[in-house]
Homo-oligomer: A and B are copies of this chain.
Amino acid sequence: MFSPSSPPARLLEKAFQYIDLHQNEFVELPNGQTLPIPPIILAELGNDPKKPTVCFYGHLDVQPARKEDGWLTDPYTLTEVDGKLYGRGATDNKGPVLAWINAVSAFRSLEEDLPVNIKFVIEGMEEAGSVGLEELVREEKDQFFSSVDYIVISDNLWLSQRKPALTYGTRGNSYFRVEVKCRDQDFHSGTFGGVLNEPMADLVALLGSLVDSSGHILIPGIYDQVAPLTEEERKMYKAIHLDLEEYRRSSRVKRFLFDTKEEILMHLWRYPSLSIHGIEGAFDEPGAKTVIPGQVIGKFSIRLVPHMDTSVVEKQVKQHLENIFSKRNSSNQMAVSMTLGLQPWIANIKDNQYLAAKRAIKTVFGTEPDMIRDGSTIPIARIFQDTIQKSVMMLPLGAVDDGEHAQNEKINRWNYIEGSKLFAAFFLELAKLH
């Protein structure tokens, strides 16, 4: 049995030639301390020009976990209970990394020729924003990545407990801050209430102009670039297994904005959404304080979908907020900025590796996969696709209830073993199709 605390990096080191980069770079923590960035491991096995080359991306770092957070077992000792392997990183992302290594090892143990050339990119900063990764991919584009034909990421989950999935898209994200300032000091509402353009009133009006109560975004032009829905795509949502009532119950939500599986999935994956996250600089504590905040900053973000573009969205949002603000004739100052712009990602699902993965799933699990997207943003997929200009596929192994980032994270023994088989079958199918 593997343990999340015994680094799979050791296994990699034994089996592959690896290159250690970023050894001398440091990251600064919020407390001022600096730490060296863990090396990004680039490894390779095989260099046969007649075989396709598959590059697997994974990460070995994990979210924090402490027993007292509510873990039923020691988070750093892998513990099997009723066929479930509990431990921090079990599903995110050490389990899938090991499953891939298992698949490669299987061919070597059986003394069979590996049908594909293998490359690995294994990082240790994924949970902290993949510091240094994009730079590395760009730097190695014409070296390490020059022979890569396909990129596989296995860092997400299925949509259900038992049915495998293939992920072909993720939403992007444009994160905004809008600041309204009267002066850099607060006011007392008894002394000044009634004669000021209060920054909070301006900000609430600005934030209130963004989205209506049905979730429709009110920023002019924002839907212009959204890809039209095709009949083929519509059929894919229909085929997906999702028990809406169970999903609603497990989400502990009284009612969703939509009543059908198809609408829910489309609004999570293929339509943009806007969320207001909060306000900095106002009174945010329990109790009562009669303050007029002098300067406040609203935070909101838009999840982007194909073919929206962060730079277009940035212009639309700024234009809209400036219009709303100028109509208020306020004496305050307003400033809008996009603090993060991550493009959405979508793959061509007719590419060979998607066909190969479908066949491998059929072989191992006896079913067609759910063709899914992820409503969240996984920037690395788009970065690989844009930089290396090769097909990227997300091939998850874990079940929907694995609880990545939560207490009692696990991967099912079944998923881990069948997942290892899936990767091996995928190598064979890919070699046939290539």
Contacts and interface: CB of A to CB of B under 8 A. Distances in A.
A242 to B, nearest CB: 12
Nearest to A264: B195
Given A204-B207, A253-B183, A256-B196, A329 B277 contact: no
Chain copies in the assembled complex? 2
Nearest to A274: B193
Contact of A205 (B208, B255, B264, B289): B208
Given A192-B251, A204-B208, A376-B188, A339 B278 contact: no
Contacts of A201: 211, 213, 276
Interface stretch (A61-69, A141-149, A265-273, A380-388): A265-273
Interface in A369-409: 374-377
A278 B200 contact: yes
Contact of A193 (B213, B256, B275): B275
A188 B177 CA distance: 18
A312 interface: no
Interface stretch (A48-56, A102-110, A280-288): A280-288
A308 to B, nearest CB: 14
A394 to B, nearest CB: 14
B328 A189 contact: no
A328 B377 CA distance: 29
Contact of A276 (B198, B288, B329): B198
A14 interface: no
A194 to B, nearest CB: 3
B276 A194 contact: no
Contact of A195 (B188, B267, B328): B267
A165 to B, nearest CB: 15
Given A215-B195, A284-B278, A340-B288, A189 B273 contact: yes
A-B pairs with the 7 shortest C-beta distances? Answer: A190-B376, A278-B282, A278-B283, A194-B273, A193-B273, A255-B331, A208-B208
